[in-house]
Amino acid sequence: MSKTYNVAIAGATGAVGQEMIRTLEKRAFPVAELRLLASSRSAGRFMTFRGESIPVGVLDHDSFEGIDFALFSAGGSRSLEYAPAAVRAGAIVIDNSSAYRMDPAVPLVVPEVNPEDVTDHDGIIANPNCTTIIMLVALQPLHQLSPIRRIIVSTYQSASGAGAQAMEELQNQTEEVLQNQAVTKSAFPHQIAFNLFSHNSTIDDSGYCEEERKMVYETRKILHDDTIRVCPTTVRVPVLRAHSEAIVIEQDRKISVEEARAVLAKAPGVVVVDDPVANHFPMPVEVTGTDDVAVGRIRDDLSHENGLALFACGDQLLKGAALNAVQIAELLVAS
């Protein structure tokens, strides 16, 4: 009989946690027991996995006895507080928060990009930031053709990146605006319906916000290249759950549009959507609920001889979070 594993999800009731449950089921991950954990607010709640109704328990230090894989998506402070307890209990933690990403002892893994890093851990493996994952799945095939030296990226980030309440806020505000009512703000500092704003994470002395700094430093860690230059502008837009990114890269040698399209068409986790005649390119509504990162608008950078421009979209809750975490667990099972 093939081996099965006990899996816990910390933050099971959240936007990412719910997708983790679905992804484990959809990919037939060999789960023996699934333990669902959230805050005391969710006590008494049940969630469905493989047709079975499972009670949601309260996340605590003793929640991880007998667990093989603990998937965390309950925010950074919960990861810092409870992930060490999970490791002490013998679990391997796959953490979706930013708490451990830049810790040199913690691998930061995108399975399509640096799968070999997954085994070099002390019990915790970090899932990168959603924008970094989506960008690097699109760029890795091009980076393999010729090293990328510089990236200029502008993001169009969905509400889902800020959690389930933020998604609800976008829907509620949309109704409020359409009914000529004042908008209610809670999850976001600004109106998100019929608006967009610069990502609201903290800006430091560099002039870049935390989300942008994540794209810079996580990219360098995942690609094992501290010289790669990244200039991001991160923007929240009124889209429910898929992120888009306009990316311009500079490489060692000139990659033609045809060469780029051909290598992307064969790349794992990528689907090329690039039809200038029909004006059909990657769109959030078309990638929602799908696993692959869509890439299109592949064209020469008219401002640099070794430059290439493209547009990518990925489901933030899936490839940007839950799917990447489950793929990491699959790599560990395979290794």
Q: Rounded to the nearest 5°, which phi and psi values hold at 52?
A: -105, 140
Q: Does 17 bind ligand A2P (CB under 6 A)?
A: yes
Question: Which one of the spans 9-17, 137-145, 172-180, 296-304 is the region binding ligand A2P (CB under 6 A)?
Answer: 9-17
Q: Does 39 bind ligand A2P (CB under 6 A)?
A: yes
Tell me, residue by residue from 45 to 64, as one string, x for binding to ligand A2P by CB under 6 A and - for no binding: --------------x-----
Q: How far is the CB of 297 from ligand A2P (least distance, A)?
A: 31
- Which of 59, 110 has the CB closer to ligand A2P? 59
Q: Residue 201 burial by CB count (10 A; 0-12/13-18/19+): exposed, middle or buried?
A: middle
Q: How far is the CB of 146 from ligand A2P (least distance, A)?
A: 38
Is 313 part of the annotated catalytic residue set? no
Question: How distant, in Å, are the alpha carbons of 148, 190, 321 from that of 169?
Answer: 38, 11, 20
Q: Which of residues 134-163 bind ligand A2P (CB under 6 A)?
A: 163
Q: Does 42 bind ligand A2P (CB under 6 A)?
A: yes
- Rounded CA-CA distance 99/329 in Å is 19
Q: How far is the CB of 34 from ligand A2P (least distance, A)?
A: 14
Q: Which amino acid is at 292?
A: D
Is 231 part of the annotated catalytic residue set? no
Q: Residue 208 burial by CB count (10 A; 0-12/13-18/19+): exposed, middle or buried?
A: buried
Distance of CA 124 to the CA centre of its chain: 17
Q: Rounded to the nearest 5°, which phi and psi values hold at 312?
A: -130, 145
Q: Does 307 bind ligand A2P (CB under 6 A)?
A: no
Query: Which residue in 121, 143, 199, 243 is the catalytic one?
Result: 243
- Rounded CA-CA distance 138/141 in Å is 7
Residues in contact with ligand A2P by CB under 6 A are 11-15, 17, 38-39, 41-42, 59, 74-75, 78, 163-165
